[in-house]
Amino acid sequence: MAPEWRALSSTGAEVDLEPCGDGPVLARHACVVVDADGVQHPVTRPVVALCTCGRSQRRPWCDSTHKSVRRSPTSGA
């Protein structure tokens, strides 16, 4: 699935992304995140987590909703 946003540095270049399994994607050194509607979300953290499950109530930011959506109950004990 193509991401619904682009994370850009101060020079306008796309920053490196670190995927987190079935959770969000981490973006470092981003200045702004541009969503699918072209809305610009300023970045105020050293790292941000971008929603990939589409269910976050704080999009483009992750709010950990993917945990209840995607994680099947573990048999771990």
Partner 1 sequence: MKLPLARGPLSSHVLALLEAAPSGLPAPDGWADEVQDVLGDDDLQLALWILYELHYRGFDGVPDHEWDPHLIALRTRLEQRFEAELRQCTAGYVEAALHASEDLFDQVMVVVDAVDGPSLPRYLQREASSVEMLDFLTQRSLYHLKESDPHAFVIPRIDGRAKVALAELQYDEYGAGRPARLHAQLFADALDACGLDPAYGAYVDLVPGHTLAVNNVMSLFGLSRRLRGAALGHLAAFETTSSVPCRRIAGGIERLGLPTVVAAYFHEHVEADAVHEQVAIRDICGGLVEDHPELRGDVLFGVAACLHLDVLAARGLLGSWERRREDAVVRQVA
Residue numbers at the binding site for partner 1 (CB under 8 A): 18, 20-21, 23-24, 26, 28, 44-49, 58, 61-65, 67-68, 71, 73-74, 76-77
Cβ distance to partner 1 smaller for residue 8 or 56 = 56
| Cβ 26 to partner 1 shortest distance, Å | 6
- Taking the complex as a whole, how short is the minimal distance between the CB of residue 15 and partner 1, in angstroms? 14
Degrees, nearest 5: CA angle 64-67-70: 130
Burial 2-37 (b: 16+ CB within 10 A, else e): eeebbbbbeeeeebeeeeeeebbbbbeebeebeeee
- Provide the minimum distance between the beta carbon of 54 and partner 1 in the complex, in angstroms, as a whole number: 15
Q: Based on CB atoms, which residue is closest to partner 1, 15 or 62? A: 62
